[in-house]
Amino acid sequence: MLGYTKEELQKIRGVDTASEICQQPQLWLKIWQLIVDQKKELESFLEEAVQNSQNIILTGAGTSAYIGLSLEGIFRNKTGVITKSISTTHLVSHPKDYFSSETPVLLISFARSGNSPESNATVELADKHCLKCYHLIITCNADGELANHTTKGKKHLILLPNESNDKSLAMTSSYTGMLLAGLLTARIKEILSLEAKVKTLAHYGDIILNKFHYKIKEAASYNFNRAVFLGSGPLYGTAKESHLKLQELTDGKIICKHDSFLGFRHGPKAVIDNSTLVVYLLSNSDYVTKYEKDLIKSMDKGKKSMLQIGIMEKPLVDIELDMAIVLNSKALLDEEMLTICSIILAQVLGFYKAVELGLSPDNPSESGAISRVVEGVTIYNN
Assigned domain for 376 exists: no
Sign of the C-alpha dihedral computed for residues 216, 219, 220 and 221 taken in this order: positive
Distance of CA 180 to the CA centre of its chain: 10
Q: What is the mean pLDDT of residues 51-64?
A: 96
Residues 279, 253 share a domain: yes
Count of structural domains, the chain: 2
Is the CB of residue 234 less than 8 Å from the CB of residue 204?
no
Q: Indicate the helix (H) or strand (E) that contains 55.
A: strand 55-59
Residues 6+ apart with CB under 8 A from 23: 163, 173
pLDDT at position 370 is: 63
Q: Examine the domain organization and report whether 112 and 245 are in the same domain.
A: no
Report the pLDDT value the prediction gives residue 373, as an integer from 0 to 100.
65
| Domain span including residue 160 | 6-193
Q: What is the pLDDT of residues 132-167, one digit of tens each?
A: 999 999 999 999 999 998 898 899 999 999 999 999
User: Are residues 204 and 160 part of one domain?
Assistant: no
165 and 100 share one domain = yes
Give dist(CA 137, CA 335) in Å, integer. 24
| Residue 194 CB contacts under 8 Å (≥ 6 apart), including other chains | 32, 184, 187
Q: Is residue 381 part of a domain?
A: no
**126 and 240, same structural domain?**
no
Among positive and negative, which fits the CA dihedral 22, 16, 360, 10? negative
Q: pLDDT digit string (tens) for 98-140?
A: 999 999 999 999 999 999 899 999 999 999 999 899 999 999 9
In the chain, alpha helices (H): 6-11, 15-22, 24-37, 39-51, 63-79, 88-93, 117-129, 173-186, 195-211, 213-220, 234-249, 286-298, 338-342, 344-356
CA of residue 336 relative to chain centroid, distance: 11
Boundary of a domain, candidates 193, 216, 239: 193
- Regarding whether 202 and 151 lie in a shared domain, the answer is no
Write the Ramachandran bin of 368: left for phi over 0, alpha for psi from -120 to 50, otherwise beta: left
pLDDT tier, 374 (very low <50, low <70, confident <90, very high otherwise): low
**Domain boundary pick from 150, 176, 193:** 193
Residue 32 · residue 188 · CB < 8 Å: no
Lowest-confidence segment of 168-177, 261-270, 279-288 by average pLDDT = 261-270
Q: Are residues 178 and 206 in the same domain?
A: no
CATH number at residue 305: 3.40.50.10490
Say what percent of the chain tops pLDDT 70. 97
| pLDDT per residue as tens digits for the range 175-221 | 999 999 999 999 999 999 999 999 999 999 999 999 999 999 999 99
Please check whether residue 112 lies inside any domain of the structure. yes
